[in-house]
Structure 1
Amino acid sequence: MTARRRTLIRRLRTPLSLLLSLMVVGLAGYGLHGALRHVDLKAVLAALRGVGAHEIGITLLFTGGSFLAIVGQEYFALKTAGRPLPFPVAALGGFIAQSIGHSSGFSVAVGGGLRYRLYSLFGARFSEVAKVQASFSGTLGLALALQIAAAMLLHPGLLDHEVTLPHSLTRDIGIGLALVGFAILAITIRHKPLDLFGRRIETPPFRFVAPQVLCSVIDIACLAAAAYTLLPAGLHADYPTVLGIAVVSLTLGIASSVPGGLGVFESSVLLLMAPSAALAAPTVGALVAFRALYYLVPLALGLVALGVVELWRRRRMPT
């Protein structure tokens, strides 16, 4: 790739990313407007007040499980990058990066910067932190691709409410995604450098990549379980459907850099599950509660943890 072409790609990347974000937010907003136009705000607030302590507790447990998986992925990402750090440090770095980065949008840039603030205290160079971020994002993308493939194979009618595709075509797409995902994993088993477009790329070892992908799968599964716990029983939602919606929504949110996939997951649930008029307000209340418990609570804790790290940095700086 020539220097002129690389410069052109860098110049176009930001406007294209912004355009994609606006498109996804616009579509999500349009979907929410259509789904909520007959929903009474007072009924939504009443539904929120009706969320029980039992459901909140279980949701927080699944949220904790999700972030524990994120911590495990971070620990192995550091090993993949050739900069292993003690588990408590990896846990702190992964939690701060994901709780703040994912909720603020542009998680790759924000998460990378937050990781560097902590890991540089332990001697990590910027290039090593960039490898950690790339490893984390790459294995998350691989896990999402494999889970989308599983959703298409096991639940080909997931999008029937909005998109009419032959189930056979949906399954074929799922098979294609699965083959690509397993092919990437197979490359890491070989653990030999790749020559791609004239560049020599070192492949990470399978013994680190496999647990990262597994941790990502657990992370997303816990996220879907947290949402599933709060949905009203009358909706008759099954967990595989909620998981499929979560995987597709997360993929769209990450690709478009929408903060926390705001509105994407909510509009997807309301459009694809199509709750009745009586269940619309309880469903919206459950989604608001999920947003608060899964995103806002970790965000608040992440900001506190970041403040502690910054105070620690100041104390370590020479006067």
Structure 2
Amino acid sequence: MLEKLRLNFSSLFGLLLLVLSVWAISNELREYNYHDVLRSLATIPKSRLSLSIWLSGLGYLVMIWYDILGFKYIGRSLAFNKVAFTGFVSSVLGNTIGFALLTGSAIRYRYYSSWGVPALAIAQIIAFANFTFWLGVFAVSGVIFLFNPLQIPTQTHLPFTSTRSIGVIFLLVVVSYLLGSIFIKQPLVIRGQEFRFPSFKISFAQVVVSSLDWMIAAAVLYFLLPANPSVSFLDVLRIYSLAMFAGVVSNVPAGLGVFEIVVLHFLKTKFSPVAILGATLAYRAIYDLLALLVAASLLGFYEIRYGARNIMNK
């Protein structure tokens, strides 16, 4: 009953944030109409659009290493194509549908169990992959927030006024994890669950892979924005980090609206609101929708082929 109430409250809070974000975006764009946004989309150079598509593909290829490292952590092996397929589909669905812990977990359990991976091992891979994602958030955002902090807009309703304190906390988590992988050799028991640190080689690879994933995603947005010498990639990276963090903790699917309002808030002095919204729409189309189309196609192809094979075997 308590868990159900928590889930309902979480969903209601996410919906509230979505409504507030949409209102804030509408307020920023009240002097414009959708034709201006469409014109802004049309002005994005094809070369930058193409580069963003390739970067998006590279980003999702990097994400499959979450599962590859997970299998190394638990000491099991599975064919690369199976791990790549499952890692890609679960990452895409988790990013676009939202509630990644649920959607990505369901995909991983569906396929890994069908290939003979025990339930306990799957649970370990799921936990490992999700923690790897957060290591990237903590590592990249921690450095950016600490040394080049931002003032957090009140519209996000986060319990901080500056990102510097967030940066300190994030980096402490990453450093503690790396030190634990070096010095703590015995398993830890947390709430009755046993946790074993991976080797330093694996934990360091987690930080590198997830940080690379985070920076590639930010680069997709960077190349969709109009060229501006006063706006560097690092500027966009720190804004992207805060926007994505706000979107993830908001519980809004894919951070829709929350992500856009944070980007709009910090970049509106450098670009017109219409250009920013056009860039974020293009980002959604490339990084989310295009990837979702590819993942859904792969999923459908596999299920049709697998189902047909089962019918033939019967």
Q: Above 0.5 in TM-score?
A: yes
Superposed displacement of residue 117, structure 1: 2.4
Do structure 1's residue 265 and structure 2's residue 264 form an aligned pair?
A: no
Of 224, 229, 239, the match for 2:223: 229
Deviation above 6 Å: which 4+ runs of structure 1? 160-163
* Cα pair 1:232 1:279 within 8 Å, conserved: no
Query: Is the alpha carbon distance of 1:294 and 1:173 closer, same or farther for their aligned partners in structure 2, counting shifts above 3 Å?
Result: closer
Q: CA deviation at 1:123?
A: 0.7
Letter of the 2:76 counterpart: R
Tell me the equivalent position of 1:294. 287
Q: How does 1:1-319 map to 2 (within 5 A)?
A: 8=2, 10-157=3-150, 159=152, 170-189=163-182, 190-197=184-191, 199-234=193-228, 236-275=230-269, 279-317=272-310, 318-319=313-314
* Structure 2 SS opposite 1:233: coil
Gaps of at least 5 residues in structure 2 are none
State the TM-score, normalized to the length of structure 1. Answer: 0.87
Letter matched to residue 112 of structure 2: Y
Secondary structure of the residue that 2:247 maps to in structure 1?
helix
Aligned residues of 2:250 and 2:258 also touching (Cα < 8 A): no
Question: 2:272 is paired with a residue of what secondary structure?
Answer: helix
Q: Say if 1:222 and 1:307 are closer, same or farther in 2 by CA, change over 3 A.
A: same
Deviation at 1:17, TM superposition (A): 2.2
Distance 1:72 1:208 in 2: 11
Shift of 1:126: 2.8
Alignment match, 1:3: none
Q: How many residues align?
A: 308
SS of corresponding position for 1:192:
coil
Query: Residues 23 and 155 (structure 1 numbering): CA distance in 2 closer, same or farther, change over 3 Å?
Result: farther
Sequence identity percentage: 29
Q: 1:180-229: per-residue Cα shift (whole Å, max 9, x none)? A: 22112221223321133455433333332321221111111001001000
User: 1:170: Cα distance to partner?
Assistant: 5.0
Call closer, same or farther: CA 1:151–1:127 in 2, change over 3 Å: same
Note if contact 2:53-2:286 (Cα within 8 Å) is conserved in structure 1: yes
CA distance in 2, matches of 1:251, 1:84: 33
- In angstroms, what is the RMSD of aligned CA positions? 2.6
Residues 240/313 of structure 1: CA separation in 2 closer, same or farther (3 Å cut): same
User: TM-score if structure 2 supplies the norm length?
Assistant: 0.88
